[in-house]
Amino acid sequence: MDFLYPHPDYNRVNHHNDIGLVVTRKPVTVNEWVKPIRIADESTLDAALVDQPDLPLNVSGFGGMDRLKTPAKVLRFATIRLQEMSVCFGNRTGEKDFPGHFCAGGERTASGIFRDSCDGDSGGPVTFM
């Protein structure tokens, strides 16, 4: 990564607009580990996030997994599920309270492992099929 351009309206307090553009000087080689993804437009996102409760979402990042929030040395990923807004935000729900946000949470696997995003993953990619 040579340059990082954060969203001009990024808010460090509430993490609104936690997205940015990464620029590299060298071309990126597409291979089994690096692939382009389609950016969803607003109508696709609205349809997916509103009409498909329990939608599996893929998250990834280098967020900390310990109490010290030490960043991971390798990229980590997990599949989490879309949740009702009230699960994450209690009585304050809906677009008027949290514009541009959605609620997704981890789950315990059959083997007892809890999968979720980590502190420091905010602003990282969320993908779905």
Q: How many domains does the chain have?
A: 1
- Residues 6 or more apart whose Cβ sits within 8 Å of residue 53: 82, 84
pLDDT in tens, 21-45: 889 999 989 999 888 877 777 777 6
Residue 8 resides in a domain: no
Domain that holds residue 112: 33-127
Identify whether the C-beta of residue 58 lies closer than 8 Å to the C-beta of residue 37: no
Domain contains 6: no
Instruction: Indicate whether 54 belongs to any domain.
Output: yes
Residue 121 CB neighbours (<10 A): 21
Q: Give the chain's mean pLDDT.
A: 79
In a domain, 67, yes or no: yes
10 within some domain: no
Task: Decide the pairing of beta strands 126-127 and 3-6.
Answer: unpaired
Is residue 20 helix, strand or coil?
A: strand
CATH of the domain at 119: 2.40.10.10
Flag whether 28 is in a domain: no
- Read off the pLDDT of residues 56-99 as tens digits, 9 standing for 90 and up: 888 888 888 777 778 888 888 888 888 877 777 776 655 556 66
CB 106 within 8 A of CB 79: no
Q: Convert 48-61 to b/e letters by CB count within 10 Å (16 or more is b).
A: bbeeeeebebebeb
